Amino acid sequence: MQVSRYDTIQPGEPALELHNVSRRFIKRRERSRSFQERFLRLLSRRNVEQEEFWPLDGVSLTLTRGECLGVIGPNGSGKSTLLKLVSGILPPTAGEMVVRGRVCSLLELGAGFHPDLTGRENVYLNGSIYGLSRAQMNERIDRIIDYAELGDFIDTPVRHYSSGMYVRLGFAVAIHTDPDLLLVDEVLAVGDTNFQHKCLTSIRQLQAAGVTMILVSHDLASIQSICSRAIWIRHGKVQSDGPPLDVTLDYLSQLSVDEDAARTQGGEITDMEKLERRRWGSGKIRITRVETLDADGNLVPSLNTGGPLTVRLHYQAPQRVEQPVFGIGLHNQSGVHVGGPNTRTGHFHISFVEGEGTLDYHMPSVPLIEGEYLLSVAVVNADDTETFDYHDRLYPVRVHAGRSSERYGLVQLAGEWRLASDAEPGLPIDPSLAAANGR
């Protein structure tokens, strides 16, 4: 293991070099946290069962100056360990690492803030944690306060801050430390949309100024929009490395495979109690299975924004039932009912059902933006007075961003942008003019 760190970076030098870097953790079944336990263990002469695992296993990586690397992978795949090695919190177990320039890791939600100190005092404290002197902080304090948009709150103890204010202040300090290499771990997901925009703008400016960045995130859309390169870490190894779009798509396809495997293993619905509470109806018609299919009729647990989806209902009616109405519903994670097509509103008349059969609802293009959704299915009688079977939000459906980069709202409003050439394109709205017109 060899780690070299240089305080400055010369043009043309790589900002970060990893050669076959590995990191081992030892999971001890029983871990001696005290002399007492250690002593008792000596007496009992029992072998301590040690289990090793390697969150990073032979990772090689070279980052040139100004590159922005997105790191993706499932939880526990070693993403955060990578950042910890680069920042120096953990040493690598094996391999060689060269880091050039000042490293700054964006602290998690105000870690390092002292609740009793005011925002201003915390700016100085945080700056010193990053290794900046008082004089350097004096130079920057006005810009930082301005950036954090805290107004008079800057002289209030941070204990009274909202979480958004915490993040704003933390981010403001971090980007004003003049880092050469900025490490960001899942921090951008917090804060309101306006501030997120501001963060993105700043990140782009830093990039333009030649700051190298490593971004760890589960938000594939932001990796795609911010980063110039991405790697996907799987079982401690770099599984894929290249343009963010390619890497995220690689990752998504593997994700579907994994989800499929999990589903076939887990069976249909195992949690009986959950089922009881979320399923009701007289049972004259029973929905026995629900499947989600892609365009080729393959079972899929997820789809990409804008992609096709077919919901297939398997039903069973012991006796003939006249004019049933089938429907499906989709809720998003925040409980918003995003859609609920049924056979009546779809003017699809079913005169009767008897025995077993299937019913498909085919959607050529699902405009939902990335996220987890829950599918409900139901069958009722013609005038909606009797519910035969109702499965309330029983089936999870995952929508991946795919090639879409929509991140706001619920759906991707398909359309195209047009610029009229005889107008005056790009004319900024002058706020003073607008105000004058308003008067």
Partner 1 sequence: MATSAPVRQSSQGGIYGQIREIYQYRELLRNLVISDLKARYKNSVLGFFWSLLNPLGMMLVFTLIFGLLVPNVQIERYPLFLLCGLLPWNYFSASVQGSLYSVLGNAGLVKKVYFPRAILPIATVLSQLINFLLAFVILFAALLIFQSNFSPWLWLLPFVLLIQTIFTIGVALILSTLNVFYRDTSMIMDVLMLAWFFLTPVFYSTALLPDSITLLGVTLNPQRLLYILNPMASLVNMYRDLLYWGYRTDLDFFLRSAVTAVAVLLFGAWFFRRYSDRFGEEL
Smallest distance from partner 1 to CB 207, Å: 22
Distance CA 229, CA 179 (A): 19
Q: From the CB of 90, what's the least distance to partner 1, in Å?
A: 4
Cβ neighbours for 150, distance < 8 A, ≥ 6 positions apart: 119, 165, 168, 169
Question: At residue 270, what is the residue type?
Answer: T
Q: How far is the CB of 148 from partner 1 (least distance, A)?
A: 19
Tell me the closest approach of the beta carbon of residue 308 to partner 1, in angstroms. Answer: 44
Q: State the CB neighbour count (10 A cutoff) for residue 181.
A: 22
DSSP 268: S
- Residue closer to partner 1, measured from CB, 137 or 226: 137
H-helix or E-strand containing 103? Answer: strand 103-105
Task: Measure CA 358 to chain center.
Answer: 36
Q: Which is nearer to partner 1, 3 or 269 (CB)?
A: 3
Cβ distance to partner 1 smaller for residue 107 or 172: 107
Q: Which residues bind partner 1 (CB under 8 A)?
A: 3-8, 10, 13, 25, 32-36, 38, 84, 87-91, 100, 103, 105, 107-108, 111-112, 114, 116-117, 124-125, 127-134, 137
Task: Supply the minimum distance, in Å, between the C-beta of residue 127 and partner 1.
Answer: 7
| Shortest distance, position 279 Cβ to partner 1, whole Å | 44
- CA 139 to each of CA 125, 143, 153, 176: distance values in angstroms, whole numbers, following the listed order: 15, 8, 20, 10
**Shortest Å distance, C-beta 78 to partner 1:** 14
SS (HEC) of 373-384: EEEEEEEECCCC
**Which residue lies nearer to partner 1 by CB, 98 or 200?**
98
Phi, psi of 207 (to 5 degrees): -60, -45
Contacts of 232 (CB under 8 A, 6+ apart): 71, 72, 73, 238, 239, 240, 241, 247, 248, 250, 251
- CB 34 to partner 1: min, Å: 4
Choose between 104 and 309: whose C-beta lies nearer to partner 1: 104
Q: In the complex with partner 1, which residue's Cβ is closer, 128 or 405? A: 128
Query: What 8-state DSSP symbol labels residue 152?
Result: G
**13 vs 259 by CB, closer to partner 1:** 13
Nearer to partner 1, 187 or 231 (CB): 187
Say if residue 310 is exposed, middle or buried (CB neighbours under 10 Å; 0-12, 13-18, 19+): middle
Number of H helices and E strands in the chain, helices first, is: 10, 19
